[in-house]
Amino acid sequence: KAGVTQTPRYLIKTRGQQVTLSCSPISGHRSVSWYQQTPGQGLQFLFEYFSETQRNKGNFPGRFSGRQFSNSRSEMNVSTLELGDSALYLCASSLGEGKPSNYGYTFGSGTRLTVV
Protein backbone atom coordinates (compact mmCIF):
# COMPACT_ATOMS: atom_id res chain seq x y z
CA LYS A 1 0.00 0.00 0.00
CA ALA A 2 1.07 3.59 -0.54
CA GLY A 3 3.14 5.21 2.20
CA VAL A 4 2.82 8.63 3.76
CA THR A 5 3.02 11.30 1.08
CA GLN A 6 4.24 14.80 1.79
CA THR A 7 4.13 17.65 -0.67
CA PRO A 8 6.02 19.56 -1.74
CA ARG A 9 9.42 17.93 -1.16
CA TYR A 10 11.30 21.22 -1.27
CA LEU A 11 10.21 24.78 -0.70
CA ILE A 12 11.97 28.14 -0.57
CA LYS A 13 10.17 31.05 1.04
CA THR A 14 11.04 34.58 2.07
CA ARG A 15 10.92 35.88 5.63
CA GLY A 16 7.47 37.14 6.51
CA GLN A 17 5.65 34.91 4.08
CA GLN A 18 3.43 32.02 5.04
CA VAL A 19 3.57 28.43 3.89
CA THR A 20 1.26 25.43 3.80
CA LEU A 21 2.54 21.87 3.78
CA SER A 22 0.45 18.83 2.97
CA CYS A 23 0.43 15.26 4.25
CA SER A 24 -1.57 12.29 2.99
CA PRO A 25 -1.51 9.42 5.50
CA ILE A 26 -1.61 5.73 4.82
CA SER A 27 -5.09 4.59 3.89
CA GLY A 28 -7.01 3.69 7.04
CA HIS A 29 -4.78 5.70 9.34
CA ARG A 30 -6.71 8.35 11.23
CA SER A 31 -3.92 9.98 13.22
CA VAL A 32 -1.46 12.42 11.69
CA SER A 33 1.43 13.95 13.60
CA TRP A 34 3.85 16.65 12.55
CA TYR A 35 7.50 17.04 13.55
CA GLN A 36 10.17 19.63 12.88
CA GLN A 37 13.76 18.48 12.43
CA THR A 38 16.72 20.84 12.59
CA PRO A 39 20.43 20.10 13.09
CA GLY A 40 20.46 22.01 16.37
CA GLN A 41 17.23 20.83 17.99
CA GLY A 42 16.76 17.42 16.43
CA LEU A 43 13.25 16.06 16.01
CA GLN A 44 10.59 18.06 17.83
CA PHE A 45 6.89 17.29 18.05
CA LEU A 46 4.57 19.95 16.67
CA PHE A 47 1.05 18.54 16.94
CA GLU A 48 -1.17 15.55 16.35
CA TYR A 49 -4.58 15.33 14.74
CA PHE A 50 -7.08 12.52 15.06
CA SER A 51 -10.49 12.54 13.40
CA GLU A 52 -10.15 16.22 12.47
CA THR A 53 -9.38 17.26 16.06
CA GLN A 54 -6.07 18.35 17.50
CA ARG A 55 -5.25 15.79 20.17
CA ASN A 56 -1.78 16.87 21.26
CA LYS A 57 0.36 19.95 20.83
CA GLY A 58 4.05 20.59 21.30
CA ASN A 59 5.80 23.77 22.45
CA PHE A 60 5.73 25.85 19.32
CA PRO A 61 4.43 29.40 18.85
CA GLY A 62 0.96 30.08 17.48
CA ARG A 63 2.45 30.81 14.06
CA PHE A 64 2.45 27.05 13.60
CA SER A 65 -0.98 25.62 13.02
CA GLY A 66 -2.55 22.62 11.40
CA ARG A 67 -5.75 20.97 10.45
CA GLN A 68 -7.06 17.61 9.36
CA PHE A 69 -9.74 16.89 6.83
CA SER A 70 -12.45 14.25 6.86
CA ASN A 71 -10.34 12.00 4.62
CA SER A 72 -7.53 12.19 7.25
CA ARG A 73 -5.28 14.29 5.02
CA SER A 74 -3.58 17.01 7.00
CA GLU A 75 -2.02 20.38 6.37
CA MET A 76 0.24 22.48 8.50
CA ASN A 77 0.65 26.21 8.12
CA VAL A 78 3.43 28.48 9.26
CA SER A 79 2.72 32.19 9.14
CA THR A 80 5.16 35.09 9.25
CA LEU A 81 8.12 32.87 8.44
CA GLU A 82 11.41 33.40 10.25
CA LEU A 83 14.89 32.25 9.24
CA GLY A 84 14.81 29.80 12.16
CA ASP A 85 11.84 28.01 10.64
CA SER A 86 14.13 26.49 8.04
CA ALA A 87 13.88 22.78 8.71
CA LEU A 88 12.74 19.41 7.53
CA TYR A 89 9.05 19.02 8.38
CA LEU A 90 7.97 15.44 8.83
CA CYS A 91 4.52 13.97 8.93
CA ALA A 92 3.73 10.61 10.51
CA SER A 93 0.55 8.59 10.40
CA SER A 94 -0.81 5.83 12.58
CA LEU A 95 -4.05 4.03 13.27
CA GLY A 96 -4.64 6.36 16.19
CA GLU A 97 -7.03 4.12 18.08
CA GLY A 98 -6.57 1.79 20.99
CA LYS A 99 -3.41 2.15 23.05
CA PRO A 100 -1.15 4.62 21.20
CA SER A 101 1.92 3.39 23.01
CA ASN A 102 1.53 0.00 21.41
CA TYR A 103 1.68 0.88 17.77
CA GLY A 104 4.22 2.38 15.47
CA TYR A 105 4.17 5.41 13.26
CA THR A 106 4.95 5.60 9.57
CA PHE A 107 6.81 8.72 8.56
CA GLY A 108 6.87 10.48 5.23
CA SER A 109 10.10 11.69 3.62
CA GLY A 110 9.40 15.23 4.70
CA THR A 111 9.26 18.71 3.22
CA ARG A 112 12.52 20.64 3.26
CA LEU A 113 11.64 24.28 3.93
CA THR A 114 14.25 26.98 3.45
CA VAL A 115 13.48 30.51 4.58
CA VAL A 116 15.65 33.22 3.05
| Interacting residue ranges for other proteins, rule: CB under 8 A | 4, 33, 35, 42-45, 48, 56, 58, 90, 92, 99-102, 104-110
CA of 52: how far to CAs of 42, 90, 94, 108, in Å?
27, 18, 14, 19
Least separation in angstroms between residue 116's CB and other proteins is 21
Q: How far is the CB of 11 from other proteins (least distance, A)?
A: 16
Q: With respect to other proteins, which residue has the nearer C-beta, 46 or 81?
A: 46
Rg of the chain, C-alpha, whole Å: 14
In DSSP terms, 50 is beta-bridged to 31, 53
Q: Which is nearer to other proteins, 18 or 106 (CB)?
A: 106
Please identify, using beta-carbon distances, which residue of 17 and 38 lies nearer to other proteins: 38
Burial of 47 (0-12, 13-18, 19+ CB in 10 A): buried
